[in-house]
Amino acid sequence: MSVIAASPRGRSLRLLSLAHGIVGAFVYRHELREIASRGFVGAAPYRSERAAALWFIGSALPGWLVGRLVDLAADAGDRDAIRLAGVLGLVAGVGGAVLMPPSTLWLQVVVYGRLLRDSRLVVEKRTPGIESVG
């Protein structure tokens, strides 16, 4: 079991993703109803409000998965995986927040920034008897 001085933000990422899905379901409720009323298949033109609704709702599931994988990486002591998730999430959050300042993407910046900071606090696991090659 790894030693974690401060909890990586896997749980925060899952909560952020859940909130994203809930907010998206509320904000895009009319578009989601249109999709359902059209029978789903082919119901979202490529460039439309219905497509935006699908992207908004659809991104919640991968976000939740990233949070779970961050927790697994922390349990394994894999600081590199946590750092990578932090960097990628931070870059995406900053880019999105700059493009859309009134959005809640600033929350993503905070959560991933803290994740990146916390990645330094994860003690890497070492497997006894196995020496690194190189």
- For Cα atoms 55, 59, 65, give the angle at the middle one, nearest 5 degrees: 160
Task: Give the contacts of 88 (CB within 8 A, at least 6 positions apart).
Answer: 112
pLDDT band for position 113 (50/70/90)? very high
Question: What is the tens place of the pLDDT at every residue in 38-91?
Answer: 887 877 887 888 888 888 888 889 999 999 999 888 888 888 999 999 999 999
Task: Output the pTM of the full model.
Answer: 0.74
pLDDT band for position 95 (50/70/90)? very high
